[in-house]
Structure 1
Amino acid sequence: MSRTWSTFIAVALLAVQLCTGQKVCDIWSSAGSVVQRGSSFRVYCTFACKNLGKIYSSHPPTAQSYEKLNSSTIYHNVVDINNTRTFSCQSSCRHEGEPCGVDIKSGYLPEQPKNLSCSYNVRNNESGVVLCTWKTGRDTHLQNSSILWVRTVSENHTAGPEAFKVSGKGGDSLSTSFTRSSSVRMISVWVQVKNELGSSASAPVNYTLRDIAMPSAPVLGQPECSSRKCTIRVEQLVRTPYLEIEYRAEAQTWVSSPFSVMQMGQTQVLSISSLEPYRLYHFRARSRFSSGVWSQWSRDISGWTQEEAPAKELDVWYTEASSDATSLQVYWKEPTFSDARGKIICYKVSVYNQRSNMLAANISAGVRNYTVPFCADCEVIVWVCNSIGCSPPSKITAKNKKAKLLQDVKVTADNHSVAISWTKLRTTTVAAEYVVEWYPEGQKLEQLRWTRLEKNANHCVITDLKPAECYEGAVYIHHNDGSVGQNRFTGVISESVPTAGPSVQENVDGNEVKVTWTEIPRGQRGGCITKYTIYLENSGGHQQHYSVLASKWTHTVQGLSPDVYSLWVTASTAKGEGPAGQKVKFYIKQETQYLLIVFVLILVITLFLLCLWQCSAVKQRFWGVFKCLKLDADLDPANSKWAKECTQEKGRMNLQLPQSDCSVAQEEEEPILVNIEELPNQSSEIRSPSDDSSQVPPETSLSPLTEQTTQLYPLTTYIKSFSHDSDSSDHTQSSMDTNSTVDYISSHRQGGSDEDDQEEEDFLEMDGFFPSHNIFMVPQGFGGKLTLDAVKINCTDFFQNS
């Protein structure tokens, strides 16, 4: 039936168009121009010409699927619409006119208003303003109109209802206000909301005006404050019996304060006490009738209270600033805002002894420590001062008396804090307080922190610590008799192995090396360093390691053999050993100093022995002791004792070899006769017996007279003997040396040849016949030749000439 009716309407519309001749097409929706969101419907297009067109939608227009209703009408099925859409029809006739279109809006029915509430704001004694608010519900996506209906009930009649329109969407809540006389006792209100899809209304709410009466917010004047109290002027349009004042310091919560009221005409003066000195306070107020609701809070006002002198002494601590305890580093904590009672201007530090004031200094407000001289009977006093005055003194005295140490001091660390606990001592003295100090390792003077605990405490929890940072500290117990006990501790949060190794420097000295390293940066230590390990590796890959205490940064390795070495150092914590640091190489060289000393000693001893060798007495004693070792030595017949004894017969010697003590075979059993020619010195005092050497008789003897008047062997005479078997036995060769002090007769060698004699002469002439004062050229025996058995050298002459 509905389908037939739609067809009838389409045909009727087409007939009207054809009659008028004005439109080429017509468009409409089966659900109208406003539909519920999520609904489905049809959009129809009817064309004036015989050729059917198309249906378009959206922007830009897009052709939609359609179905044919008849020869002039088509339609498009719209399913689950959720926003506003535009549809148009486009004709395909030759003389095409303007296209036709329609906007179809989608939305929701308005929900019933909720949470309707009203208040009566009394402006004066005659009337007031009623303000009503309510929740609108969800957005309908359509234009809504809201109306507040009000019915008024007075003492003798009822008026209304009266409508108050509210325009605009207004978000999720709406409100409106209206004026009512103070004679009205009760009102009844409800809200109606409409849009193109329909309307809804809330249930009526009845109010008694005095139950919803609310005064206007008070108006506060600027406060006037002393150090502990502020007074504020309060103005109200309507006098109320109830007034509330709240205040707060900066960044604190509001606190309701009791106050006293003093009436001054149309205004009231409120006095607020129990405030803190030197604080910025904020104030606000509200009022209420004997029935009804509290007014809105007034606008906030603020004011400073005045300063007072600090009433609490500083929290002071100290440590020795020098190794000889002649100076102290004094620390103090900045007082809290409440303790300072004003703006800090400076700190004062004084050092007293029994005789005089040793030091008095004013320190700026930003400084928290100071170094002072100290002695056994000194006392340090510290004050904090503002513009009004200074705090009570904080005193530091020398604690020479040592108390017993605490028992069972334990340190427990987790991921966020370190807890220190101890067992109380059972002593006759009473503990006055405990002080726990802590600081990063090696940073006591720079980052010392501490906390004071009451006398019954037995543990302390430290929370402001950095992870993987080694901390040192101590627990001090102070007794009433002045004695102090100290227990040291170390602690760390989230300890790990070091992430780096130390940097190393080496210093080689002989066969030892001094290793020096630097501390690892704090961020790479991983906690408390327990030890350092030195690794030493030679060229063969053999390693040695040496453990060193964490408190030391140098170590000497001794007794190293010559080689090439590699050296590095690692650091360890309780969690393990870290990586190797910088590797260095060094060399241990062969020791040459001792060899040089030995060489110099040998050289000196050799020179000394050579010098002694020039003395005949030393040489005779030497050959007397070691004569068995001189197996091939020949005797010097000219200078030997037996040769001189045989000079009794002039010009003739009976050379008979003595019996040797050594077991050496005798090579000659027959006596050897030697021809001797005596050559006189070429001096005017000694006359040559003959100038013709060819007349020398075969046998020569020395006369006693010649032996007494002249030297047997002059200082400058060299006598050489030849074997009587030699072909040149008749020849005598002389060599004159004015500096010679030795008489020498060449050795007799049995079976010697002319070549041997010539070699001997050539050898003697080669070096100038070995000057007698050359200690390195002492005449020696060569081969089987005879040599001197005693060399007559005066060592004193040698040293004089040299």
Structure 2
Amino acid sequence: MFSQRSWSVHVVCTLLSIYSFGDGLIEMCGIIRPEAPVVLPIGSNFTALCILNDHCYSLGKIHANQIIWRTKNVLVPKEQYHVINQTVSSVTFSDITMIPSPLTCNIMVAGNIEQNIYGVEIQLGFPPEKPKNLSCIVIQTQPELFILRCTWDPGRETFLNTNYSLKSRWPDKMLPECIPQKTKNACDVPIFVFFVTMKIWVEAKNELGEVESDHIEFDPLQYVKPLPPNKLSVNSGEFPTVLKLSWTNRFNIVSTVLKYIIRYKTVNSTSWSEVPREETDSQRTSFAIQELRPFTKYVFQLCCAINYAHPRSNGYEGYWSDWSEEVVGFTAEDMPTKGPAVWRKISTPSPGNWTLELTWKELYPSEANGVILGYEVSISGKPPVSFPMKVYSQLNVTKLILNVQNGTYEVRITAYNKVGKSPTSVLLISPTNSKAPVKDIVAFPKDGKLWVNWTAPKEFVNKYIIEWYEVCEHSDCSTEWQQEPGTKHSAFLKGDIKPFKCYNITVIPLYVNGQGEGRSTQAYLQQDVPSNGPSVQTKKVGKFEALLEWKPLSVDEQNGFIKYYNITYKTATGNETVVIVNASQTEYPLSSLSSDTLYMVQMAAYTEIGGRSGPQFTFTTKKFGEGEIEAIVVPVCLAFLIVTLLGVLFCFSKRDIIKKHIWPNVPDPSKSVIAQWSPQTPSKHFNSKEQIYPEGSFTDVSVVEIEADDKKSLSEPDLKPFDLLKKEKNASEGHSSGIGGSSCMSSPRQSVSDSDEGEPAQNTSSTVQYSTVVPNGYRDQIPPVQVFSRSESTQPLLESEERPEDQQVLKSDSSTPTHSYFKQNGNWDDTVTDGGSSERVKQISPINEEDVAGLHCAQMGGCGAEGDEQGVSPGAFHPCPEGPSMQFEPTRINTVTDNEIPKSYLPQTVRQGGYMPQ
């Protein structure tokens, strides 16, 4: 447990700490009993005493109750203290398993300082156990030198310094004891005396006890391990199967006999063969080893032991020596013991002809029995083929190619060395495999080899041919073969069979008069997980289903037979779904999927060893199923077509109404003769119509109706305009037609009435027709001039003229004459006032048709030239040939004051493109 050096260091340090110095002398202030070194058995009780010295003046007057116990600076609980008297204190430890060392006795002095008094080193351990299993052997180290080596079992560890010694005694003499040097359970003793029985035992001792082993009786000659034979040599005999082994012995004790063990093997073998021991239990220095293979290199080894035949040995054989050094021997050549295995490969370059490729195997060394110098091959045809025998001798190759006719042939081949020829191998080649094949062929790995089993046919089989090749992607795979006797039903492939490669194996039975059809199987010497996983993709995707497809793994990627596929698919938030698929499938339909959803698919291929997953693949299901879009689009299109057809038919049936609202009959102003009924107008306004009124300009004609009652209230000078209107009416008759198809001449209706002319009492109103010509530019372009003219258009009025119920008029609530403006859409424009007074537009009853006709004549000026006298400047009018026609809006002036004189022309302006429906 503690080394002697460390124990000494602790003791010295403890002693230095417990001595005080005074007057040049060392005085000890206390001591611990038992004194160091303290050795204790593990698990025992221990009590220590600290005894103070009364004459230690350096510490003053002290008492035992001031003593403090520590174990390696750890305070011992005061419960374990016991004060015996004023100078003695004890401490007790029960069931000691481990006490930290050292144990110190300390005291507290003035200034609350702890002072060490004494300390001891404690060692824990066990007493030695009785040594067991004492055995001895006499070892020969030199031809004349022997040693006695004894070993024993010392028992449990003591944790203390324990001494062992080997003691021996002759019957009359005690021999020197042997102390182990490097170990505690073995010791070597030189010995020179044989034929004397000895007594031997072992003694063990430490500070806790001493014990001896059992005494044994020992005969040195019975337990001798001799040196192995040396100077081995091997000689070839006259026979190719015999070798002679010679040696010398190095154990030469008188009256002793040795026995031997001889073992041998071929050079490349790992297993040894032994010569039977009963043939080598006699004293000898050579031995002839028989039944060896010719032309084979062998390795030999030899060992020996004392052939001790003591009656008390009870069959004890003694100790065998170590194996001698190896020696190599070589047997002589002999004739080959077996003919070469021969096989054929047939191809048909043209009908009726064969290319016959003959191949044969080289003989194994155990079959060749020497160096094969060449081969001799003969081939002959069997009827009905007439093929003369051909012999090919001294061939040093293992292949022969012949061009023959298809038929039956017999091939014979022999190998030869310098001793002789081998037996002849015969191969019968027939055009058909008409014989029975083997059954139940199966291949499997066993003991690191690929074995093939089959069930033999009922007929007698001469031999079997086993063909195999490594399955590869291309078709030109190298084929190997071997020949097995017809008595076998199983064999292992004798070639370079690689792990993780698939082999196709075929067994063909050969008969004396033909051959059977081959039967094949596939096998692996060793399987592994696939190198890669399959890559899956979608072949077809629907709304709730998807069809997955994948390519089978190549043979190089499989590394074994694929047992099944594992397909895992899931959504981004859904749970995984796993399905198992048969290995023969290349497609799999997924059903019960969600529409318009992204799926992730991964596929794994599994062999017997395990599986490997391929890359992940994602796809999205369709939002609509097959035919759903067509089911929606086709009815919608049909409905739209039907609605369209019905609408077209309805439009055709109502085309007059539609034309009236969308394409009304508009008069063509280009055909108007308005320029002809204004003679006072300067000619310059008519000679260049295109310049003054370019294409697109238009005019509006307005009609003002004056009530009869209002006329009477006017003064005599105020009636002059109306007289003029009357004259204009009379003068215009027969000159031009009125708007809407009524001319002034053809219409006898009066436009202006007064009391002198005797107008009918029922005529309560008269009309005055006037027009304001506003030439507007194309698309709101401002024209250079504005002129006024009467209208003499021969075009018929709009439908509003013949439908008085559609006419609208302006009625003013004030006494101020109104000027009304209309837009093309026929609605009323905002009312415009003269002199700042407001006007109110009202809808009134339409005027009498006769009054309208008379008013037209008066306005158009065809009946007289009074228009010029009224101060109205005549102006030219030239409508746009393609522009809108003129319109005349009848209006009535409801109220006129006494101070106001009604004017013959009240201009109203209608903007370009506008007209009032009549």
TM-score by length of 2: 0.43
Q: Larger radius of gyration, structure 1 or 2?
A: 2
Q: Which one has more relative contact order, counting CA pairs under 8 Å at least 6 apart?
A: 2
